[in-house]
Amino acid sequence: MSSPSGDREKVVSKIPVALQLDLKIRAAQHGIDIQHAVEAGIEAWLGLGSNLAPIDTSGAKSFSTFLPPGQWDRFRGDCASRGVSIIQGLAQSVQMWLETNPAPTVVRPEHPKRVVVCNQKGGVGKTAITAGTGEALAEDSNQLHPVRISKHFAAALSEDDTDSPLDYEDLPGLGLRVLLVDFDPQCHLTKQLGQDPLPLEGDSLTKHMAGESKGQLRDLIVPIEDPRFGDRLHLLPACTDAFLLDVKLSGVRAREAALERALSAVEDEYDAILIDCPPSLGLSMDAAAYYGRRRPGEAPGNSGVLVVVQAEDSSADAYGLLTSQIEDLRNDMHLELDYLGIVVNHYDARRGYIATSSLESWMDIKDPRVVGVIGDLKEQKEAVRVKQPLLAYSPRCDQSVGMRALAREIS
């Protein structure tokens, strides 16, 4: 059956559920509507000189789409003349389109994206943003994941004073190879992801930066195991010896490049490296900022500093101190150090005027601009309690979809 709808007509039939899912994912991967994919598949099927091998259509479920006027009638006539059922012909058409439009490969960046997540104020949620953004970058590109900007961010960006959230959009994962670096001696990132801090008597990132390493840095890296990340999400755990890092760096030659020297051994294995910085303005922060600088031939905005703040006054004070240090580094060392943006974390409009007016103040900063607003919701706290990645623990919660939006803003 069919019914008119604009310049296309609605058609209803059946195809196997697995084929429907493959079609939905593949169309999203190629950035086209399902109706255009089906249209192309039917047109290719109509042009065949002979019948294809039958497809198992047992358990086929209802499927509807919109096709150009007349195409469905031609298709049904061709099915009848070939002795093929409409369900079988449609399944073959969809399968033809899938075979001639394979899943695109993930584009690997020429330079690994280096994201320095920082703020010298503790408690703003740098660790949660580092983990969530890295998880979103690493999600399976052959699966669809819900993405949208949180309603608070949407309302703040909108010229209309609306509180309605944007609709979810199911998009393929970004499929990048990601390394999360726990650069904080408190080891929060390490513990939140269910890993143990490195032992004091063993090797560590601090020892590699200080020239005291005992082995290969890659031997310290551990995978974050979950099917949605495949083998694409890894962690370099922290060690409490990082409390001594500033002291050790004071005696290291070209100390600002110490982090880069340490990570250079593994850089080629990753598409994105995220540094969870300590709440500090010391030498370790200098090394992290230097690592995030724009390298020769690297596009502006590929790497840089991602500043995490909260919608309250003390975050603004800390932000001023951090940006002053970054400007000093830029000037003293002639660095091209880009801001990737500001993330307003733990936002809750129910906290009233202080929260809403503070968010407006952050939004008024146009350079760097706000690239994400993440709500203060229970799922993140629960994920930390059970030591699981947020996007694996609650993949459809508001914080998860916000993390995916943030990852796309900076990728």
Q: 91 with 85: CB under 8 angstroms?
A: no
Give the residue-averaged pLDDT of 291-309: 94
- Whole-model pTM? 0.88
Domain ranges of the chain: 2-100, 113-410
pLDDT score of 224 = 97
**Per-residue confidence at 254, pLDDT binned at 50, 70, 90?**
confident
For the chain, what percent of residues have pLDDT higher than 70?
Answer: 94
d(CA 236, CA 233): 10
pLDDT score of 158 = 46
d(CA 325, CA 120): 10
Q: 318 with 297: CB under 8 angstroms?
A: no
Lowest mean per-residue pLDDT among 171-185, 304-318, 384-398: 304-318
**Per-residue confidence at 2, pLDDT binned at 50, 70, 90?**
very low
**Per-residue confidence at 311, pLDDT binned at 50, 70, 90?**
confident
Looking at the predicted structure, is the pLDDT value of residue 165 above 70? no
Q: Which of 250, 259, 246, 334 is nearest to 292 (CA)?
A: 259
- Average pLDDT of every residue of the chain: 89
Q: Is 380 exposed, middle or buried (0-12, 13-18, 19+ CB in 10 A)?
A: buried
Tokens of 373: 């607003």
Looking at the predicted structure, is the pLDDT value of residue 279 above 90? no
DSSP 293-313: SPPTTPPTTSSEEEEEEESSH
pLDDT score of 281 = 76
Higher per-residue confidence, 280 vs 32? 32
Give the residue-averaged pLDDT of 312-328: 80
The CATH number of 113-410, from 3.30.300.30, 3.40.50.300, 3.40.710.10, 3.40.50.150, is: 3.40.50.300
Higher per-residue confidence, 230 vs 281? 230
| Torsional sign, CA 10, 16, 20, 26 | negative
Give the residue-averaged pLDDT of 395-410: 94
Looking at the predicted structure, is the pLDDT value of residue 47 above 60? yes
Q: Which of 406, 137, 142 is nearest to 271 (CA)?
A: 137
Lowest mean per-residue pLDDT among 168-172, 202-206, 223-227, 258-262: 168-172
Render pLDDT for 7-43 as a digit per residue (tens, 0 to 9): 899 999 999 999 999 999 999 999 999 999 999 999 9
**Per-residue confidence at 159, pLDDT binned at 50, 70, 90?**
very low
d(CA 400, CA 173): 13
Helix (H) or strand (E) holding 236: strand 233-236
CATH 1.10.1220, applies to 2-100 = yes
d(CA 244, CA 164): 48
Looking at the predicted structure, is the pLDDT value of residue 209 above 80? yes
Looking at the predicted structure, is the pLDDT value of residue 274 above 90? yes
Higher per-residue confidence, 151 vs 68? 68
pLDDT score of 361 = 86
Looking at the predicted structure, is the pLDDT value of residue 411 above 60? yes
Q: Which of 293, 247, 368 is nearest to 116 (CA)?
A: 293
Using DSSP's 3-state secondary structure scheme, residue 314 falls into helix
Amino acid making up residue 296: P
**Per-residue confidence at 324, pLDDT binned at 50, 70, 90?**
confident
* Longest CA span, the chain: 84
